[in-house]
Amino acid sequence: MQSGATRKRSASDYLVVYDISSDDERNRVDSLLKGYGFRIQKSVFECRLTRAMRSELTQRLETMSVQTGFIRIYRVDHSARIINIGTDVPGKDDGYAFIV
């Protein structure tokens, strides 16, 4: 068994989804998320986060106190394959489906 100091810090993939009606609140959330992942749709970001990063992101989002909508964070399960039809997203995953 590896000690905590030598244990590899693994990251998990997350989808961060939001629906916020205030332009100001939405722009602040959008700016923050750009530092943690990349946009895959207008209000959906894909992020690879360690536990520490996830905790930091969650805390920073909570301090924004969004009043005009919601933010949800989903952990991604890589158990299914993606079938791409149409234009592929640059920087996209390595071929696994995201089931939410």
pLDDT, residue 97, reads 47
pLDDT, residue 8, reads 57
> What sign results for the dihedral spanned by CA atoms 60, 63, 67, 72?
positive
- In words, the CATH class of domain 12-75 is alpha beta
pLDDT, residue 99, reads 45
- Amino acid 30 reads D
pLDDT tens figures, 27-38: 999 999 999 999
Q: How far, in Å, CA of 75 to CA of 98, rounded?
A: 9
The β-bridge partners of 38 are 46
Q: How far, in Å, CA of 50 to CA of 43, rounded?
A: 22
The residues of the chain scoring below 70 in pLDDT are 1-9, 78-100
Residue located via tokens 């969650």: 58
Domain coordinates in residue numbering, the chain: 12-75
